[in-house]
Amino acid sequence: MMLELDLAERRVLVVGGGRIATRRVGCLLADGARITVVSPRVCPDLQRLVDAGVVALVRREVCEDDLDGVWFVVAATDSPEVDERVAGWADERRAWCINGSRSGSGSAKQAASTTHGPVTVGVVSSGAPDPRRSMAIRDAIADLFGSGSLPA
């Protein structure tokens, strides 16, 4: 089942400060989420968002209390153990969570998506997660939209 979540003005926690976390932050900002990033280090692109005041940053390791009151969590550190622990904490609080280390784990999965005009198409692998396959299919659909072979 694919769902679209309304994240506008909802508190969202992103754990991690690297390239993947930054990509997820961009999507969450587009959805109007109120984002707090918890990470001891952040990449330059994410730091620019913090400096612009659109993302809050807590510069330290994540702790369980960071999940209090959040509605959605993205665990995107470079440590599968930390991501798994964060996903467990989210599950205990009944908060949706994407586990960036294990796409089959966590209570939410992010579709590989493409948007053309008013249409957004999302692709997820059913059964065993295969993010590369989902992205390849998404790219093929985007090419069809771009060439006009598939009307939006």
Evaluate whether residue 104 is within a structural domain. Answer: no
Q: Which of 7, 3, 55, 50 is nearest to 31 (CA)?
A: 7
Mean pLDDT of the chain: 90
pLDDT tens-digit series, residues 58-111: 999 999 999 999 999 999 999 999 999 999 999 999 999 998 876 656 778 777
> For residue 56, what is the domain's CATH number?
3.40.50.720
Report the distance separating Cα 4 and Cα 86, nearest Å. 22
What DSSP designation does 127 have? Answer: S
Neighbour count for residue 90 (Cβ, 10 Å): 25
Neighbour count for residue 54 (Cβ, 10 Å): 12
Amino acid at 87: A
What per-residue confidence (pLDDT) applies to 74? 96
Evaluate whether residue 152 is within a structural domain. Answer: no
What per-residue confidence (pLDDT) applies to 128? 67
User: Do residues 65 and 24 share a domain?
Assistant: yes
User: Do residues 28 and 93 share a domain?
Assistant: yes
Residue 127 has pLDDT above 80, yes or no: no
Amino acid at 144: L
pLDDT tens-digit series, residues 3-23: 788 999 999 999 999 999 999
Domain that holds residue 125: 112-147
Evaluate whether residue 6 is within a structural domain. Answer: no
Count of domains for the chain: 2
What per-residue confidence (pLDDT) applies to 125? 76
Evaluate whether residue 4 is within a structural domain. Answer: no
User: Do residues 17 and 89 share a domain?
Assistant: yes
Helical axes 19-30 vs 44-51, angle rounded to 10°: 40
User: Do residues 51 and 73 share a domain?
Assistant: yes
Q: Which of 16, 96, 29 is nearest to 62 (CA)?
A: 16
What per-residue confidence (pLDDT) applies to 103? 61
What per-residue confidence (pLDDT) applies to 105? 65
Query: Rounded mean pLDDT of 42-57?
Result: 97
Give this prediction's pTM. Answer: 0.86
User: Do residues 95 and 117 share a domain?
Assistant: no
Lowest-pLDDT range of 24-33, 55-64, 77-86, 126-135: 126-135
Of the residues 78, 99, 120, the one at which a domain ends: 99
User: Do residues 90 and 15 share a domain?
Assistant: yes
What per-residue confidence (pLDDT) applies to 75? 96
